Amino acid sequence: MSDSSDKSPQNTDSSESAHNCTDHGHEDHHHGGEEHESNEEMISLAPAIASAQIGLLSKVQVLVDAISEAHVYIPLSEDLPDTPDGEKIEMETDLTFRPHMILNEDHSVYAVAYSDPSLVDAMQKALGWETAGGELKFICAPAHVALDLGQMNLEGEDVSGLVLNPGTEQELILQRDEVASLAQGKALPLVGYVSDLAPGSDEETELVEGAEPPPPELLAALEKAKGENENILDITVHTTFNPERDREPHLSILLTVIASNDVDRQNLADDVMEEAAPHLPAPGYADIIFREAAN
């Protein structure tokens, strides 16, 4: 991971008001717009980011609802001329600024923004972020400006997404398609975060009627896994959809196991998935759900 200060984003237009706050940056970003009534009541995005870290659709909706009201702090690589720190900038005319961005080892580039400038310390130390070779500064802007950055095109290559509060426990990584959805005001489950949650209740998960049956190769692999583990009494497969967690229907593998404290369910799930993974149909993943056999 490094600073992507050697790249230059293409210009994008937007509106609203912004503030020059204190500390940070790189990449040219053109921010233009119409005369717009200033919003003195912009709020912090931090509570909404914490909600979205859960990944569920309803929790991401909190973030969507906050974006129109909240502000973020974008670290600058180059200073804005004639903009004293802490003074509001009315974006009635075009404004170009160069924010810092993150360049990963796989050469993917992510825009960054913070809900509070004090959260930048870890990334500033790790990447040596400065503004024009001096003290790190920020531009304080409406949250949607960060979404614009996360959808830019840099020298013919798309930015991969947006990281909010990078390098902190409040970090939220948004892939490009997720950024685009939020920018359109549409919440969606964040699969990278939902996957860390235990499966939801049966009431939330729906069986998909009329779905294609599981591939015979998958059923054979699951039968093999069952035969190799005495703790598995039965395996059934269903196509399911949980609107809170899923973007599309997928398979759920139900393992009926003996009721015992000695059963290591994580290892058991890993063993079953190792057999099943090569044979999973689109979208290429499955949930594993455990059920204890009746005594």
Report the mean per-residue pLDDT for the chain.
83
Residue 164 and residue 260 in one domain: no
Residue 35 and residue 137 in one domain: yes
66: in domain: yes
Residue 274 has pLDDT above 60, yes or no: yes
Looking at per-residue pLDDT, the higher value among 177 and 156 belongs to 177
pLDDT at 200: 57
Q: How confident is the model at residue 157 (pLDDT cuts 50, 70, 90)?
A: confident
What residues have CB less than 8 Å from 162, skipping those under 6 apart? Answer: 110, 111, 112, 113, 146, 147, 149, 150, 174, 179
- What's the rounded Cα separation, in Å, for the pair 153 and 235? 47
Residue 129 and residue 263 in one domain: no
Residue 270 has pLDDT above 60, yes or no: yes
Looking at per-residue pLDDT, the higher value among 97 and 125 belongs to 125
Question: Taking residues 29-37, what's their average pLDDT?
Answer: 42
Q: Domain range for residue 221?
A: 206-292
**Would you give the DSSP letter of residue 119?**
G
Give pLDDT tens digits for 50-92: 999 999 999 999 999 999 999 999 999 998 776 555 444 444 4
- What's the rounded Cα separation, in Å, for the pair 94 and 99? 16
38: in domain: yes
- What's the rounded Cα separation, in Å, for the pair 113 and 97? 14
Question: Taking residues 166-174, what's their average pLDDT?
Answer: 96
pLDDT at 62: 97
pLDDT at 82: 61
Residue 24 has pLDDT above 50, yes or no: no
